[in-house]
């Protein structure tokens, strides 16, 4: 079984893709060689919205347009165009009438829930970190809430919650830009037993000889002789280790 399977229920001309190490082309040139940034940028998959839309938020309520501002509707709960009928055509009798909504204003002020049009399934013991795309310049119109979903056990719509921030102009949601980044996380890696197992050392008392040796290799030696310092040495070493582990 693949680590993740996407079920595209709403037709989308831009299917999920592997997240790119250049953050969808937004990384500055000098950071293309920064392996920590590149690794974080490419960790998981991009998911795109199937349609463009706009929201106007007055601080309490919102209106929505699906046609570039020609027509506006009060936002409460909205289905993707024609999706409810399409869902009922394919769903068994007991599931008909339960099509996931596309977008809904929640009871919490300014919080909107948006469905991507997908349902996903991950391999056993793998969950998904659902967040805004890493290292891509975020809009100032809204804020993504991050969440970890146990998608190996919970088979439901892949949605996210956002906080609307802008009240002075329409907030645009563009289908051609990555909307979410999904990262697989093994359940053991966010268990309390693991995350509560940490130490904090005061000052240098916790340094061992092998720590100073590692510091010398990482910091002292490369900077003691700038002419001998190789650009991108960390990236080369990290990629070599990954290649050997694969």
Name the phi and psi angles at 50, rounded to 5.
Answer: -80, -20
Greatest Cα-to-Cα distance within the chain, rounded to the nearest angstrom? 73
Rounded-to-integer distance, Cα 111 and Cα 145, Å? 10
pLDDT tens digit sequence for 50-96: 999 999 999 999 999 999 999 999 999 999 999 999 999 999 999 99
pLDDT tens digit sequence for 192-223: 999 999 999 999 989 999 999 999 988 898 88
Residue 225 clears pLDDT 70, i.e. is over it:
yes
Q: Does domain 4-194 have CATH number 2.60.40.3140?
A: no
Does the CA dihedral 172-77-106-185 come out positive or negative? negative
pLDDT tens digit sequence for 94-151: 999 999 999 999 999 999 999 999 999 999 999 999 999 999 987 889 999 999 999 9
- The count of other CB atoms within 10 Å of the CB of residue 116 is 26
Rounded-to-integer distance, Cα 16 and Cα 158, Å? 12
Q: Tell me the three state secondary structure of residue 237.
A: helix
Q: CATH 2.70.40.10: which residues of the chain?
A: 4-194
């Amino acid at each position: 079984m693949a680590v993740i399977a996407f079920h595209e229920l709403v037709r989308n001309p831009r299917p999920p893709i592997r997240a790119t190490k250049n953050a969808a082309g937004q990384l500055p040139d000098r950071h293309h060689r920064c392996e920590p940034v590149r690794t974080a940028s490419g960790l998981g998959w991009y998911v795109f919205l199937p349609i463009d839309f706009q929201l106007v938020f007055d601080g309490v309520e919102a209106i929505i347009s699906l046609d570039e501002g020609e027509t506006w509707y009060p936002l409460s709960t909205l289905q993707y165009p024609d999706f409810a009928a399409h869902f009922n055509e394919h769903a068994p009798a007991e599931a008909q009438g339960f099509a996931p909504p596309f977008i809904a204003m929640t009871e919490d002020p300014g919080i909107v829930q948006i469905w991507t049009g997908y349902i996903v399934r991950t391999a056993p013991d793998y969950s998904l970190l659902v967040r805004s795309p890493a290292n891509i310049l975020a809009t100032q119109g809204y804020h993504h809430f991050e969440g970890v979903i146990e998608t190996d056990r919970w088979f439901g719509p892949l949605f996210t919650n956002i906080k609307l921030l802008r009240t002075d102009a329409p907030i645009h949601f563009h289908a051609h830009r990555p909307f979410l980044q999904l990262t697989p996380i093994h359940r053991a890696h966010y268990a309390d037993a693991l995350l509560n197992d940490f130490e904090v050392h005061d000052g240098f008392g916790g340094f061992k000889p092998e720590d100073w040796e590692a510091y010398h290799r990482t910091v002292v030696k490369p900077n003691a002789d700038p002419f001998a310092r190789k650009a991108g040495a960390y990236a080369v070493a990290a990629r070599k280790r990954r290649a050997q582990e694969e």
